[in-house]
Amino acid sequence: MDMNYAKAKELDPDAIPVVDIRSLRDGRDLTVVARALDAASRNLGFIYIEGHGIPADIIAAAQDSAISFFRRSAAEKETVRVSSKHRGWIGYGGAKMYDTAKADLKESFVWGYQDGAGNAPDDHPLRGPNQWPDFDPGMERHAMEYFHQAHNVAHHLMRGFAIGLDLDENFFLRTTDHPLSRASYVYYPPLPPEGGAGSFGVGPHTDFGVLTVLCQDSVGGLQVQDVNGDWLHAPPIEGTLIVNVADLLTRWTDGAYKSTPHRVVNQSGRERLSVVLAYDPDPGTVIDARDVFGRGYDPAKEAITCGDYLVWRFDKAFSYRRPEDA
C-alpha cells in the first residue's frame, strides 16, 4: 500500500516541549510551570508532560484490561455496544472526524464519571450510566482508577493554564462537580493493505472539548500538523503523557491557545492502544472569552455552553448518532 499520503517529518524537540509538572502538583513553583504551559499552548498546543504522578501499575493495568477487551469476539463486545449517552463499545469504522472523511480505522470503549457506588449522572445527552462487560469483572476497577488519576492531572494543568493567563488559579475549575469528561480505550489494528489513500487510524482533526490527556503505548503513530502545514511525528516518550489544547479551550481563549490538527497512522504492523481522557467541565459551563479577557472584550465567537457545543460535534462525528448511518 502506498503510504506517501501519510508521510511525516521527524519531530523537532522544540516543537512539542517536555514540561515537568511536579512543582505544579505539589504547589512549590506554580509560576515557572504555568509559563511553560502557556508558551506551549500558544504554539502547537501539544505538550509532553512528565512528573504527572499516575502510578505505572495503574497505567499498565488499564492497558492490559483494554487489550484483553478488544481481543474478545465482536459478539461479546456487542453486549456493551455504545449507548445513546456515548458509553460503551464503538466498533470498527464507527467514527469519522469530518463529513467527507473515511471512517476511522479503530475501535474504542468509552466511559465517564461515576461515584464510588458506580452511579453516574443521567441528565445530559452525553452523560449516563457506564457499561461494563460481564465477561471482565476487573475492567471497571482498572478503568475508573485510571480515569480519576488522569482527571487529577487535567485539574493541575487547568490550574496552570489559568495562572499562565493571569487568572485566578481555579478559574477553569469553578464548574467541575459533575464533569462531562470521558475516557476512552482506543484500539488501532495495523492499517490493512486494501485501505487505500486517505485511510487513517484517526483522520486529521482537532479535538472537540477543552483538553485531551493521552497515554500512548510504545508503538507510536501520532502525527501533529505544524504552522506550515507539515506533519510531524509525535513519538511516545517513556514516562510522559502527551496533552493537547482542544477546541473549547481555543474558543475560551479566543484563539490564544491553539487546537492543532493531528492524526494517527499505524504503519507499525502491530496493534496500537491509546488511553485517552477528554477533559470537560459541567455541561452548563459557559465558554466565553470575555470571562478571560474582560467584559469589554469583543471575541471572535459568541458564548456557548460546553454541553451544547459537544452535542453538536458528537452528532456530526459518530455514526450511531445518525440514524441513517447506524
Domain ranges of the chain: 4-321
- Residue-averaged pLDDT of the chain: 90
For the packed helices 56-70 and 139-164, what is the interaxial angle rounded to 10 degrees?
130
**For residues 307-312, average pLDDT:** 96
pLDDT at 1: 43
Q: Is pLDDT of 320 > 90?
A: no
pLDDT at 178: 87
**DSSP letter (8 states) at residue 73:** -
Q: Which residue, 208, 219, 196, is CA-closest to 246?
A: 208
pLDDT at 2: 45
Beta strand extents in the chain (DSSP E only): 18-20, 46-50, 88-90, 107-112, 182-188, 202-205, 211-216, 222-225, 231-233, 241-245, 262-264, 272-279, 286-287, 304-305
Cα distances from 190 to residues 109, 138, 247, 264, 270, in angstroms, run: 18, 27, 29, 11, 5
**What does CATH list as the number for 4-321?**
2.60.120.330
Question: Measured between alpha carbons, how far is 39 from 54 in angstroms, rounded to an integer?
Answer: 24
Cell numbers linked to 90: 464503538
Q: How confident is the model at residue 322 (pLDDT cuts 50, 70, 90)?
A: low
Rg (CA), the chain: 19
Question: Measured between alpha carbons, how far is 73 from 64 in angstroms, rounded to an integer?
Answer: 17
Q: How confident is the model at residue 105 (pLDDT cuts 50, 70, 90)?
A: confident
Q: How confident is the model at residue 264 (pLDDT cuts 50, 70, 90)?
A: confident
Q: Is pLDDT of 125 > 80?
A: yes
